[in-house]
Protein backbone atom coordinates (compact mmCIF):
# COMPACT_ATOMS: atom_id res chain seq x y z
CA UNK A 1 0.00 0.00 0.00
CA UNK A 2 1.28 3.46 -0.85
CA UNK A 3 2.34 5.66 2.03
CA UNK A 4 1.61 9.32 2.62
CA UNK A 5 2.83 11.33 5.57
CA UNK A 6 0.55 13.96 7.05
CA UNK A 7 2.98 16.52 8.45
CA UNK A 8 1.12 17.32 11.64
CA UNK A 9 1.41 16.59 15.33
CA UNK A 10 -2.17 17.75 15.87
CA UNK A 11 -4.28 14.65 16.46
CA UNK A 12 -7.58 16.37 15.57
CA UNK A 13 -6.17 17.54 12.26
CA UNK A 14 -4.65 14.14 11.47
CA UNK A 15 -7.95 12.42 12.22
CA UNK A 16 -9.88 14.84 9.94
CA UNK A 17 -7.45 14.32 7.08
CA UNK A 18 -7.25 10.54 7.54
CA UNK A 19 -11.04 10.20 7.32
CA UNK A 20 -11.16 12.28 4.15
CA UNK A 21 -8.40 10.30 2.46
CA UNK A 22 -9.83 6.90 3.50
CA UNK A 23 -11.43 6.17 0.09
CA UNK A 24 -8.02 6.32 -1.60
CA UNK A 25 -6.50 3.19 -0.08
CA UNK A 26 -3.33 5.00 0.96
CA UNK A 27 -1.67 4.46 4.33
CA UNK A 28 -1.58 7.80 6.17
CA UNK A 29 1.18 8.33 8.72
CA UNK A 30 1.24 11.17 11.22
CA UNK A 31 4.36 12.71 12.73
CA UNK A 32 3.44 10.95 15.96
CA UNK A 33 3.42 7.58 14.15
CA UNK A 34 6.93 8.37 12.92
CA UNK A 35 8.07 9.55 16.33
CA UNK A 36 9.11 12.93 14.90
CA UNK A 37 9.81 15.18 17.90
CA UNK A 38 11.12 18.48 16.53
CA UNK A 39 8.93 21.50 16.03
CA UNK A 40 8.75 22.92 12.50
CA UNK A 41 8.57 26.66 13.10
CA UNK A 42 5.68 28.18 11.16
CA UNK A 43 7.32 31.50 10.41
CA UNK A 44 5.95 32.05 6.91
CA UNK A 45 4.02 35.17 5.94
CA UNK A 46 1.37 33.08 4.23
CA UNK A 47 -0.49 29.84 4.85
CA UNK A 48 1.10 28.53 1.66
CA UNK A 49 4.66 29.15 2.88
CA UNK A 50 3.96 27.36 6.16
CA UNK A 51 2.29 24.39 4.48
CA UNK A 52 5.17 24.15 2.00
CA UNK A 53 7.80 24.30 4.75
CA UNK A 54 6.16 21.55 6.78
CA UNK A 55 5.59 19.27 3.78
CA UNK A 56 9.05 19.82 2.32
CA UNK A 57 10.95 19.31 5.58
CA UNK A 58 9.25 15.98 6.22
CA UNK A 59 9.21 14.73 2.60
CA UNK A 60 12.96 15.28 2.37
CA UNK A 61 13.68 13.69 5.76
CA UNK A 62 11.61 10.51 5.26
CA UNK A 63 11.86 10.35 1.45
CA UNK A 64 8.08 9.93 1.13
CA UNK A 65 5.32 12.11 -0.35
CA UNK A 66 4.06 14.39 2.39
CA UNK A 67 1.00 16.51 2.90
CA UNK A 68 1.38 19.77 4.77
CA UNK A 69 -1.59 21.86 5.81
CA UNK A 70 -1.72 25.33 7.23
CA UNK A 71 -4.99 26.86 8.12
CA UNK A 72 -6.46 29.70 10.07
CA UNK A 73 -9.20 32.21 10.56
CA UNK A 74 -9.30 35.51 8.69
CA UNK A 75 -11.57 38.16 10.23
CA UNK A 76 -12.42 41.08 7.93
CA UNK A 77 -12.46 43.68 10.71
CA UNK A 78 -9.12 42.51 12.12
CA UNK A 79 -6.93 42.30 9.02
CA UNK A 80 -3.62 42.33 10.89
CA UNK A 81 -4.54 39.80 13.55
CA UNK A 82 -5.24 36.06 13.34
CA UNK A 83 -4.50 34.72 9.80
CA UNK A 84 -1.23 32.75 9.93
CA UNK A 85 -1.07 33.64 13.62
CA UNK A 86 -4.54 32.14 14.41
CA UNK A 87 -3.18 29.37 16.61
CA UNK A 88 -0.93 31.75 18.55
CA UNK A 89 -3.44 34.61 18.82
CA UNK A 90 -3.44 34.67 22.64
CA UNK A 91 -0.25 34.35 24.62
CA UNK A 92 -1.56 31.16 26.19
CA UNK A 93 -2.32 29.71 22.74
CA UNK A 94 -5.16 27.57 24.09
CA UNK A 95 -8.47 27.30 22.30
CA UNK A 96 -10.29 28.99 25.20
CA UNK A 97 -7.87 31.92 25.48
CA UNK A 98 -7.85 32.43 21.70
CA UNK A 99 -11.64 32.50 21.50
CA UNK A 100 -11.96 34.89 24.42
CA UNK A 101 -9.38 37.24 22.96
CA UNK A 102 -11.28 37.22 19.65
CA UNK A 103 -14.59 38.09 21.33
CA UNK A 104 -12.87 40.92 23.21
CA UNK A 105 -11.33 42.38 20.05
CA UNK A 106 -14.70 42.30 18.29
CA UNK A 107 -16.65 43.66 21.25
CA UNK A 108 -17.79 46.91 19.64
CA UNK A 109 -17.47 45.81 16.04
CA UNK A 110 -20.56 44.96 14.03
CA UNK A 111 -18.72 43.65 10.96
CA UNK A 112 -18.31 40.00 12.03
CA UNK A 113 -17.45 38.62 8.57
CA UNK A 114 -14.77 35.96 8.57
CA UNK A 115 -13.54 32.91 6.75
CA UNK A 116 -11.54 29.83 7.54
CA UNK A 117 -8.87 29.00 5.00
CA UNK A 118 -6.83 25.86 4.52
CA UNK A 119 -3.84 25.64 2.22
CA UNK A 120 -2.52 22.20 1.48
CA UNK A 121 0.75 21.26 -0.15
CA UNK A 122 1.54 17.75 -1.34
CA UNK A 123 5.32 17.60 -1.60
CA UNK A 124 7.44 14.87 -3.22
CA UNK A 125 11.05 14.05 -2.30
CA UNK A 126 12.04 15.12 -5.86
CA UNK A 127 10.77 18.68 -5.11
CA UNK A 128 7.64 18.49 -7.25
CA UNK A 129 4.59 19.74 -5.39
CA UNK A 130 0.88 20.48 -5.69
CA UNK A 131 -1.02 23.20 -3.89
CA UNK A 132 -4.74 23.33 -2.97
CA UNK A 133 -6.85 25.93 -1.22
CA UNK A 134 -10.23 25.72 0.48
CA UNK A 135 -12.29 28.44 2.16
CA UNK A 136 -15.49 28.52 4.16
CA UNK A 137 -17.22 31.83 4.77
CA UNK A 138 -19.20 32.87 7.81
CA UNK A 139 -19.47 35.24 10.78
CA UNK A 140 -18.10 35.42 14.29
CA UNK A 141 -20.87 35.00 16.89
CA UNK A 142 -21.18 36.84 20.22
CA UNK A 143 -21.27 33.64 22.27
CA UNK A 144 -20.24 29.97 22.17
CA UNK A 145 -22.21 27.05 20.81
CA UNK A 146 -21.45 23.43 19.93
CA UNK A 147 -19.04 20.87 21.30
CA UNK A 148 -17.47 19.38 18.18
CA UNK A 149 -14.41 20.41 16.21
CA UNK A 150 -11.62 22.50 17.68
CA UNK A 151 -10.05 25.96 17.47
CA UNK A 152 -12.51 28.76 16.69
CA UNK A 153 -15.30 26.33 15.68
CA UNK A 154 -17.70 27.26 18.57
CA UNK A 155 -17.65 30.95 17.52
CA UNK A 156 -17.88 30.47 13.76
CA UNK A 157 -21.37 30.67 12.20
CA UNK A 158 -21.20 28.89 8.84
CA UNK A 159 -22.80 30.92 6.03
CA UNK A 160 -25.99 29.47 4.49
CA UNK A 161 -26.08 26.70 7.13
CA UNK A 162 -26.45 29.18 10.03
CA UNK A 163 -24.93 26.76 12.50
CA UNK A 164 -21.68 26.95 14.38
CA UNK A 165 -18.86 24.90 12.93
CA UNK A 166 -18.74 23.18 16.36
CA UNK A 167 -22.38 22.10 16.01
CA UNK A 168 -21.60 19.99 12.93
CA UNK A 169 -20.59 16.36 13.24
CA UNK A 170 -17.44 15.10 11.56
CA UNK A 171 -19.18 14.15 8.32
CA UNK A 172 -21.14 17.42 8.06
CA UNK A 173 -18.01 19.47 8.81
CA UNK A 174 -15.86 17.65 6.25
CA UNK A 175 -18.41 18.41 3.53
CA UNK A 176 -18.28 22.17 3.96
CA UNK A 177 -15.06 22.95 5.82
CA UNK A 178 -12.04 24.75 4.40
CA UNK A 179 -9.85 21.68 4.91
CA UNK A 180 -12.52 19.37 3.52
CA UNK A 181 -12.81 21.47 0.36
CA UNK A 182 -9.05 21.67 -0.21
CA UNK A 183 -8.65 17.93 0.34
CA UNK A 184 -11.59 17.17 -1.91
CA UNK A 185 -9.75 18.84 -4.78
CA UNK A 186 -6.61 16.82 -4.05
CA UNK A 187 -8.64 13.59 -3.85
CA UNK A 188 -10.34 14.35 -7.19
CA UNK A 189 -6.92 14.91 -8.75
CA UNK A 190 -5.62 11.62 -7.37
CA UNK A 191 -8.72 9.77 -8.59
CA UNK A 192 -8.37 11.32 -12.05
CA UNK A 193 -4.66 10.45 -12.18
CA UNK A 194 -3.77 14.13 -12.45
CA UNK A 195 -1.75 13.57 -9.27
CA UNK A 196 0.02 10.25 -8.66
CA UNK A 197 1.01 9.09 -5.16
Residues that bind its own copies in the complex, under the rule CB under 8 A: 130-131, 133-135, 137, 181, 185, 189, 192-195
Is residue 118 classed as helix, strand or coil in its secondary structure? Answer: strand
Question: Which spans in 67-121 are helix H?
Answer: 95-105
Q: Minimal distance in Å, beta carbon 116 to its own copies?
A: 12
Find the distance separating the first CA and the last CA of the chain, reported in whole Å.
Answer: 10
Q: Minimal distance in Å, beta carbon 95 to its own copies?
A: 26
Nearer of residues 105 and 135 to its own copies, judged by Cβ: 135
Residues involved in catalysis = 70
Nearer of residues 145 and 185 to its own copies, judged by Cβ: 185
Q: Minimal distance in Å, beta carbon 183 to its own copies?
A: 14
C-alpha distances (whole Å) from 33 to each of 10, 39, 149 are 12, 15, 22
What span, in angstroms and rounded, lies between the C-alpha atoms of 165 and 177?
8
Nearer of residues 164 and 181 to its own copies, judged by Cβ: 181
Half-sphere exposure of 159 (CA within 13 A, CB side): 12
152 CB neighbour count, 10 Å cutoff: 24
Amino acid sequence: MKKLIIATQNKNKFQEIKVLLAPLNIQCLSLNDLNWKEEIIEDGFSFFENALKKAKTIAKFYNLPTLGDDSGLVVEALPNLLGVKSKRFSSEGTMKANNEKLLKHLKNITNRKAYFISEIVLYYPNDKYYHYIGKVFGEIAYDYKGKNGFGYDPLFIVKDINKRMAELNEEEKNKISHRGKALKKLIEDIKNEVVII
